[in-house]
């Protein structure tokens, strides 16, 4: 039995098994299981306070797990974020990680991927290289953050609230580009997103969290109806599956 589990785990770039996570000794996330394959976008949905960001930061290695395991390419890891980054993990946090007083060019130089690769991924940044990042629009700042992360050619990309504070048309463009890059470059993407319908357009699979636990999951084929059914089952026991 254990050999079978090990064999299956090698299919996943990222995996959490019975993950407990939180701050200090207080567990916010309890018994969580999820996985992400190469070239797959997995969306993590849930209300505020569900534990989505805590899950993301724990899988990234930014905060240590309180229990359970995080696996990288089938092997358990307790490495901190900066060492997981060297192995091919990139994190785009909820707050845009751009230095406002520096130019777009200098912001890209802070990453290990370089300017040329970033502009190749997002040509819109080319004319903006000399502009100070603080003068960019919110969408351009998020594009810069995403380009800098993807320019490192990561194996896995974790994104927290890509759509936060952005106009819907900008969100759609960023998500579409993210989907193209994930598929063409075999990047495993775990995407925390509040705008469920937009997230579902690019996700291959989804998980729904509530109160620190996964309460539903599905694939792109189940779409919004499957996600809404999971919400109903969680809120109303009469709609829960037998």
* β-pair partners for 213: 210
Residue-wise pLDDT tens digits, 179-226: 999 999 999 999 999 888 889 999 999 999 999 999 999 987 766 777
CA atoms of 164 and 195, how far apart (whole Å): 9
Contact 217, 208 (CB under 8 A): yes
**CATH number for the domain harbouring residue 141:** 3.40.50.300
**Burial of 230 from C-beta contacts in 10 A (0-12 / 13-18 / 19+):** buried
Q: Do the strands 26-37 and 188-192 form a parallel or antiparallel pair, or are they unpaired?
A: unpaired
CA atoms of 7 and 233, how far apart (whole Å): 33
**Burial of 36 from C-beta contacts in 10 A (0-12 / 13-18 / 19+):** buried
Q: Which pLDDT score is estimated for 238?
A: 37
Start-to-end Cα distance in the chain: 28
User: For the residues 14-33, what does the mean pLDDT come to?
Assistant: 95
Contact 193, 199 (CB under 8 A): yes
Q: How many domains does the chain contain in total?
A: 1
Total-model pTM: 0.88
* β-pair partners for 27: 22
Residue-wise pLDDT tens digits, 138-171: 999 999 999 999 999 999 999 999 888 889 899 9
* Predicted confidence (pLDDT) at residue 9 exceeds the cutoff of 90: no
User: Which residue segment(s) compose the domain that 146 sits in?
Assistant: 2-239
Higher pLDDT pick, 52 / 196: 52
Contact 118, 101 (CB under 8 A): no
Q: Which of 130, 127, 163 is nearest to 145 (CA)?
A: 163
Which segments of 88-222 does DSSP mark as H helices, in order?
A: 104-110, 115-121, 138-150, 168-185, 196-202
Give me the percent of the chain exceeding a pLDDT of 70: 90
DSSP code, position 160: E
């Amino acid at each position: 039995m254990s050999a079978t589990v090990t064999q299956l785990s090698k299919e996943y770039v990222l995996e959490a098994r019975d993950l407990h996570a939180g701050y200090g000794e207080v567990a916010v996330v309890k018994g969580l299981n999820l996985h992400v394959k190469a070239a797959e976008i997995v969306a993590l949905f849930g209300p505020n306070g569900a534990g989505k960001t805590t899950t993301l930061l724990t899988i990234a290695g930014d905060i240590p797990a309180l229990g359970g395991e995080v696996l990288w390419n089938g092997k358990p890891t307790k490495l901190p974020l900066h060492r997981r980054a060297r192995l091919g993990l990139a994190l785009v946090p909820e707050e845009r990680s751009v230095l406002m007083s520096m130019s777009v060019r200098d912001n890209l130089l802070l990453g290990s991927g370089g300017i040329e690769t970033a502009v190749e991924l997002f040509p819109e940044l080319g004319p903006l290289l000399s502009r100070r990042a603080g003068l960019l629009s919110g969408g351009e700042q998020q594009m810069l953050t995403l380009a800098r992360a993807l320019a490192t050619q990561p194996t896995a990309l974790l994104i927290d609230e890509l759509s936060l504070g952005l106009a819907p048309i900008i969100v759609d463009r960023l998500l579409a580009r993210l989907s193209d890059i994930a598929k063409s470059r075999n990047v495993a993407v775990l995407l925390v997103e509040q705008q469920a319908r937009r997230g579902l357009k690019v996700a291959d699979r989804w998980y729904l969290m509530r109160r620190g636990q996964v309460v539903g999951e599905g694939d792109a084929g189940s779409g919004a109806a499957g996600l809404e059914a999971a919400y109903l089952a969680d809120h109303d026991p009469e709609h829960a599956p037998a």
